[in-house]
Structure 1
């Protein structure tokens, strides 16, 4: 089988196993959840709808109690910050967005993992760096690492830097046909902040090519926009790339990139921002009704790579000037059931108590949106499928993923400073982060609790065969402690909705 044929075959297999066919169940789950919440029902027992009560659980390979999980589930720790990798580089800090691909051998999986390093230019602390490699910015501190994992044993067979020369690599998403990973910079910093080059771009990490000691060349896809990127999702029907923006304290936009060549994003394309038809600057952040269908149009961003150092308008300003819709802290993004699901981490009417943003908006506990691309004469529509009524149900959803069985997992990133969020399984921690599942009946439930530190969960994804969920704890973005960790969780998934 040729390399191209093999990639196409694996892509089709992952599409089937990874949730596209099963995602109709996920959509039903979100729809049921919206109806349940809209009816004002009280919160159910957080374990009753899922896999039962959680308990502090030691790691099978380190013995440390780092997670609380339901009975029957176990985990191992992979790729902890500081662990020497195959290429001789210590595992970097700040483990963030991630995706799982079929491995190069049977019973293996390949993980491509972001590192949201926020240290100063050229800092050696936890840096993603391979001397002599082709990198965009010689002072860049962030990038991606790749791990090959044996699914049967949990052993890391090899791990290495797969892209460097970037900064603040937060989340991203799979490329069309699962050919690799698109990693996003969550910043617009540049030479005025001490970097050699402008930042705020998306970069490609091909599945095939990077090897230990030989990362992919980091070349920015400038036509896809220069803004504070968070995550992306690709519509496999059109090749359009949908992009979320997370610029804290300001209104954010939801973007669409229409490439000239869906298989070659470097060939350019058209960047657009979502606009609700007939309403300029529609405010999606609050006052919304779950289930309502909002007709959508798109406004073109005329200058997708603005010279911000010399006063050019940002992509957000350009889009809002044409009537683009306002969101707050757009983060996780996932394609399923013919639509794009994305999280607004701090949207919603139930407020978390933090100080208002610059324009007076007070942050909420989070929203989940769905963009439904139109077909034929039917235009695109936007639907609010869930809004959190409070921190116990869901507090600050960040990354999201669909499971191979049609369930939904939301990674919490509780950044509120006003509303303390302790947990009985994590004594001593003030703001505790969880993995929240959504049951078919609509109830949210706790699946996992980070009991090691107060850093967020990120990068949840399943192995193509559905047997293992991989997820990160971010750790510190500027120091070695607390460390970033990747977990491989295994258990009786079919006993519950995930």
Structure 2
């Protein structure tokens, strides 16, 4: 997973082209998966007042709590906060968060608008009446794709800056998890949270319009590295035959979760086997970026592999569903370390990691907080000297 050719530095303007705002060169193939190492920010300090352990120089704050009004607004924050993303908004920004709840319990998505100082100034619902909206992804045209994690789940295109959410059935009906847009190839990649799930891409008829196009599935061998191709899914509706069972040779992945795109590479996670995979799009090859069974010497720092994002320095940030309630870093030289740990919330999971456009704030949520219930969600922000 060699990523040393990353073009370092913050992205200006073009940040909307990638989900995290990062640019990458094509990665060389078949390097060793990430191994244990000291983190670039040093060891974790004792837990702060929010129960979060961070390296020196970093601080945390609570942004919102489920069932409580977001400070500075009149909006009550949703249940079970999950996947998220940040959008530039003048001198400030917007953080979008899914709600992994049923339609009757407020499933959908919400947004919080922040001023240049990071203070919330508005918040609102951008999607309602949907089910188990787990992860999703940001588009280059500043919409949020909110994905339903049900057997006939849909992708909903939502509008953080205003507008009515629209279902995009052409992107397939299956147990959706995350999405990542590739503006170079003009496609959207999609993960499927099934133990025998697949990796898909949607090729819109017109880039920027997701109402029509072709759903395709990744075809490859059974090994953990090799070459791949794409094949059309005959019936994206997934009925009566599930999309993952329509194409012979479709590669199976054990519980697809988060997705991150940067120039010529895609990283996605599979929670069932604690792996991070890398697609090298310029060479049409795939490999393992991380495997908890291949960390030597152990113990492996990252388990319960789930949501993923990237920084402008080329670092991947991977959140845990369970594990030790940590966000771990994988650096461009294939080293993995713990960036933060949440204490006292072992019945929760970390969700929705996303950097602000400037790259100096990281938002994320603890889906069930200290209570272990969907009514106990907490959304945080960490500020500090992130590498750029």
| TM-score band w.r.t. shorter chain | 0.7 to 0.9
Contact kept, 8 Å, 1:31 with 1:442, in 2: the verdict is no
Q: Is 1:50 aligned with 2:3?
A: no
Q: State the number of aligned residues.
A: 371
| Unpaired stretches in structure 1, ≥5 consecutive residues | 1-8, 38-42, 59-63, 129-141, 189-198, 211-215, 277-281, 348-365, 415-430
Q: Is 1:274 aligned with 2:218?
A: yes
Deviation of 1:80 after TM superposition, in Å, equals 1.0
Worse-superposed segment, 460-469 or 88-97: 88-97
2:132 match? 168
Q: Secondary structure at the match of 1:465?
A: coil
| Unpaired stretches in structure 2, ≥5 consecutive residues | 1-10
CA–CA distance in structure 1, aligned partners of residues 40 and 331 of structure 2: 7
Q: How does 1:73-84 map to 2 (within 5 A)?
A: 73-84=58-69
1:132 match? none
Instruction: Look at both structures and tell me which one has the larger radius of gyration over its CA atoms.
Output: 1
Residues 57/163 of structure 1: CA separation in 2 closer, same or farther (3 Å cut): same
Residues 87/223 of structure 1: CA separation in 2 closer, same or farther (3 Å cut): farther
Q: Is 1:301 aligned with 2:212?
A: no
Residues 70/178 of structure 1: CA separation in 2 closer, same or farther (3 Å cut): farther
Q: Secondary structure at the match of 1:166?
A: coil
Q: Is 1:313 aligned with 2:313?
A: no
Contact kept, 8 Å, 1:50 with 1:446, in 2: the verdict is no
Selected match of 1:179 from 142, 148, 151: 142
Contact kept, 8 Å, 2:16 with 2:142, in 1: the verdict is no
Q: How does 1:374-389 map to 2 (within 5 A)?
A: 374=282, 380-389=284-293
Contact kept, 8 Å, 2:109 with 2:128, in 1: the verdict is yes
CA–CA distance in structure 2, aligned partners of residues 159 and 493 of structure 1: 26
2:201 match? 256
CA–CA distance in structure 2, aligned partners of residues 262 and 16 of structure 1: 15
1:229 match? 176
Q: How does 1:82-481 map to 2 (within 5 A)?
A: 82-85=67-70, 88-103=74-89, 105-106=90-91, 108-118=92-102, 122=104, 127-128=105-106, 142-152=107-117, 154-175=118-139, 177-188=140-151, 199-210=152-163, 216-217=164-165, 219-247=166-194, 250-266=195-211, 268-276=212-220, 282-283=221-222, 288=224, 292=225, 294-307=226-239, 312-319=240-247, 322-347=248-273, 366-374=274-282, 380-389=284-293, 392-414=300-322, 431-454=323-346, 455-475=348-368
2:5 match? none
1:138 match? none
**TM-score normalized with structure 1 length:** 0.69
Deviation of 1:90 after TM superposition, in Å, equals 2.3
Q: Is 1:67 aligned with 2:52?
A: yes
CA–CA distance in structure 1, aligned partners of residues 374 and 324 of structure 2: 17
Deviation of 1:14 after TM superposition, in Å, equals 4.4
Residues 316/57 of structure 1: CA separation in 2 closer, same or farther (3 Å cut): same
Q: Secondary structure at the match of 1:472?
A: strand
More strand by share: 2
Deviation of 1:65 after TM superposition, in Å, equals 2.8
CA–CA distance in structure 2, aligned partners of residues 170 and 330 of structure 1: 12
CA–CA distance in structure 2, aligned partners of residues 269 and 493 of structure 1: 39
1:353 match? none
Contact kept, 8 Å, 2:80 with 2:375, in 1: the verdict is no
Contact kept, 8 Å, 1:19 with 1:406, in 2: the verdict is no
Contact kept, 8 Å, 1:404 with 1:462, in 2: the verdict is no
CA–CA distance in structure 2, aligned partners of residues 20 and 481 of structure 1: 32
CA–CA distance in structure 1, aligned partners of residues 337 and 301 of structure 2: 8
Runs of 4+ in 1 over 6 A off after TM superposition: none
CA–CA distance in structure 2, aligned partners of residues 157 and 410 of structure 1: 29
